[in-house]
Structure 1
């Protein structure tokens, strides 16, 4: 599923205070990068943020799910990207905070 252009624009607007972000095609969606490091991506109207072992529990506590897709051999789970918790989409300050954490994870 391709990234929803309107949703991509909305997220870019919300993340603008982070500074110079770039986007590019990625896995059928749009990658979002900060200083060349991919910290998020959008597929359809879903925002995924980069996680690591230290931040994954926070995402799971909010009901976020890892990215999954199906191949001929079965389902594949990508545990480096989790859905952004729903409340972030209505709270720009929280979205910026969680995105900053995703940027830190991507930089490591």
Structure 2
């Protein structure tokens, strides 16, 4: 389920210190982007942020909740998005710190994908 309009507006306001925050529906959820990089997802008005090996320790508190996941061919696939603790909704400064760490992880993932993408050979031009 996607983010409600009120929750989406709340997140945009809270995360504004990071940069231009936008949201778009994807995979039945809402992707949260900052300056074009996806730092989180929302489902059922619950905010999940991007986690990687570099920032996992920062999000140790979030480990108590299962990561965002989906079912595929009878298996549960965990995504690299962890649920932020509910207390952060009432602590905007700390929410921004978590979101900043998630944004850094999202940028690392995006950079790694760009490096790993196969380069296309230019098509030969007809003579």
Q: Same fold (TM over 0.5)?
A: yes
Compute the displacement of 1:65 (Å).
Answer: 2.6
TM-score normalised by structure 1 residue count = 0.86
The structure having more radius of gyration, on CA atoms, is 2
Distance in 1, Cα, partners of 2:98 & 2:65: 13
TM-score scaled by length of structure 2: 0.75
Across the aligned residues of Structure 1 and Structure 2, the Cα RMSD in angstroms comes to: 1.6
Cα offset for 1:59? 2.4
1:11 counterpart = 2:14: no
Alpha-carbon separation, structure 2, partners of 1:92 and 1:75: 32
TM superposition shift of 1:69: 2.1
Structure whose residues are more often strand by fraction: 1
CA contact (8 A) 2:39 2:102 kept: yes
Matched with 1:68 is 69
| Equivalenced residues, count | 107
Q: Distance in 2 between matches of 1:53 and 1:71?
A: 24
- Give unpaired runs (5+ residues) of structure 1: none
2:21 aligned with 1:21, yes or no?
yes
Q: Supply the distance in 1 between the matched residues of 2:92 and 2:69 (Cα, whole angstroms).
A: 26
Structure 2: runs of 5 or more not aligned: 109-127
Higher relative contact order (CA 8 A, sep 6+): 1
